[in-house]
Structures are given as C-alpha cells and as structure tokens.
Amino acid sequence: MAEELDINAPTEELNFDGPSEDLDVFDCPKCGQTIDASADVCRFCGAKIDHAAAQKAAHLLARVDQACSDASYLRNAAVIMLCLPPGILVGLSRNPRFIQHVGFQNTLIGFCIVILLVSSPFPLWTLRWWRKYASLTGGDDDFQNARKVIKAVGTGTAAALLTFGSLLCLVLLFKFAHT
C-alpha cells in the first residue's frame, strides 16, 4: 500500500518547486517576450520597464506557475488513486479464497474503507488550492486548464466519498441487521 501512504502525505508537500521568489521574470507588456523583471528596458523591443509593475507581474507569473504545478501534482495523485480500486479488484479476483476466508461483506467493507481513506484528502487539497489560487487573474491556457483539473479532481473525489460512504453505511447496516 505504498501508494496510499504517498497520497495521504501532508499537504505541505504539494509545493514541489519550493519558494518561487527566484523566478523574477515577467512578460514584456509591449512585445510579450519573457524578460528579467529587474531590467530597465526590454532587451527585445527596448520598451522602458516600470519596476513596480514589473515586480507585480513577475510575482503573479510565479504564482500562476506554482498553481499549475500544484494542480498537475494533484492530478497525478488522483490518477494513481483511480488505479487503486481496479487494482484491488483484480487482486481479489485472483485470490477467491481470500474472499471466502474473510467473507464477502467484510471484503466489501474493507474495499470501501480503502477508497474512503485514499480519496478523503483530495476535496481538502482542492479547496486549499482554490482558496490560494482561484483569484489569480491569469488569462493563460495552462492556468485555465489547472482550474479545470482541480474542479474535476474535487468533484470526482467528493462523489467517490459520497458513493462509497453510503455503500459502507448500507453494508454495515445490513451486517448488523443480520447478526
């Protein structure tokens, strides 16, 4: 269950790229080339650089980059999580004696619990992302994609939690009603 451990790691580890202050670049407002924010003039078109505006733009660009890399990390973790249930099912189907031994209800309960454990951090992570980055006004395609990824991961894992949470309740009710 190494995958499960990875996914449940503290959210602080989402910031893979570390502090983004060293990314002091921004897009020239005149020609759109990526240039050093501390330069006096654009080295491509020669436009004069407003330092305050340049720092602000550089900061925004770094935040957008961070938002995109956090989103892609979350997406990869979600993809690993998606592989887990089919993986368990394949494993179980190859070991029918395990189900006989443990009992079908207990196997189902265990399966639900694993899915719930693995998917539970995702809605929190996506909310955290949303609070941190959704207000960024980046017109850039990567950022718009990142927003879509976060929405999909958040709603998908919330749906999985609801589905398997209800299934678990049903199985438990059924189990206790019959003992």
Using CB under 5 A, list all residues that contact Zn ion. 28, 30-31, 42, 44-45, 47
Least gap, CB of 127 to Zn ion (angstroms): 38
Least gap, CB of 38 to Zn ion (angstroms): 15
Nearer to Zn ion (CB atom), residue 39 or residue 127 = 39
Helix 51-94 to helix 141-177 angle (10° resolution) is: 30
Nearer to Zn ion (CB atom), residue 43 or residue 101 = 43
Least gap, CB of 91 to Zn ion (angstroms): 57
Are the CB atoms for 13 and 58 separated by under 8 Å? no
Instruction: Give which of 11, 153, 34 is closest to 82, Cα–Cα.
Output: 153
Least gap, CB of 34 to Zn ion (angstroms): 10
**What is the DSSP code string of 134-175?**
TT-----HHHHHHHHHHHHHHHHHHHHHHHHHHHHHHHHHHH
Nearer to Zn ion (CB atom), residue 47 or residue 90 = 47
Least gap, CB of 55 to Zn ion (angstroms): 16
Are the CB atoms for 120 and 161 separated by under 8 Å? yes
Nearer to Zn ion (CB atom), residue 45 or residue 170 = 45
CB-side exposure of 50: number of CA atoms within 13 Å?
6
Nearer to Zn ion (CB atom), residue 31 or residue 162 = 31
In whole angstroms, give the CA distance from residue 106 to residue 111.
Answer: 8
